[in-house]
Amino acid sequence: VSVLCNSKLVARQAARDRRVDLLCFPNASLHKHYFDWAEAELASNSSAAFEIDMAPILGVESFARAAVLSRLRRDVVVAKEYKVPVVVSSGASDPWFLRKPEDYASLAFLFGMDSSLALESLSRIPTSIVERNREKLRPGFVTTGLRILEEKKRV
Amino acid sequence: LTRHIRRRYLALKVDGQDQSFDPEAVSDSIWNSVLRLFGEVGVSQAGLYLIRFDENKSYVVLRCSHRALPMVKAAIASVTKIGERPAAIYVLRVSGTLKTLVRKVSDH
In terms of pLDDT, which residue wins out, B57 or A13? A13
The pLDDT value recorded for residue A154 is: 75
Helices (H), A1-155: 8-16, 37-46, 55-59, 62-81, 101-108, 115-122, 124-137
pLDDT at A155 over 70: no
Average pLDDT, chain B: 89
Residue B79's pLDDT band (cuts 50, 70, 90):
very high
Least confident of A36-40, A113-117, A126-130, A140-144: A140-144
Question: Is some CB atom of chain A closer than 8 A to the CB atom of B73?
Answer: yes
Model pLDDT for residues B42-71, shown as the tens digit of each residue:
999 999 999 998 877 788 999 999 999 999
The pLDDT value recorded for residue A28 is: 62
The interface predicted TM-score of the complex, written ipTM, equals 0.85
Question: Is some CB atom of chain A closer than 8 A to the CB atom of B92?
Answer: no
The pLDDT value recorded for residue A99 is: 92
Model pLDDT for residues A18-38, shown as the tens digit of each residue:
888 999 888 766 667 788 888
The pLDDT value recorded for residue A59 is: 86
Beta bridge mates, B85 = B82
The predicted model scores a pTM of 0.85
State mean pLDDT over A55-61.
Answer: 87
Q: Give the separation between CA B76 and CA B92, rounded to whole angstroms.
A: 11
Nearest CA in chain A to B69: A106
Q: Are A83 and A44 in contact (CB under 8 A)?
A: yes
Residue A5's pLDDT band (cuts 50, 70, 90):
confident
pLDDT at A60 over 80: yes
**Residue numbers in B near A62 (CB within 8 A):** 36
Which among A96, A100, A109 has the least Cβ separation from residue B74?
A: A109
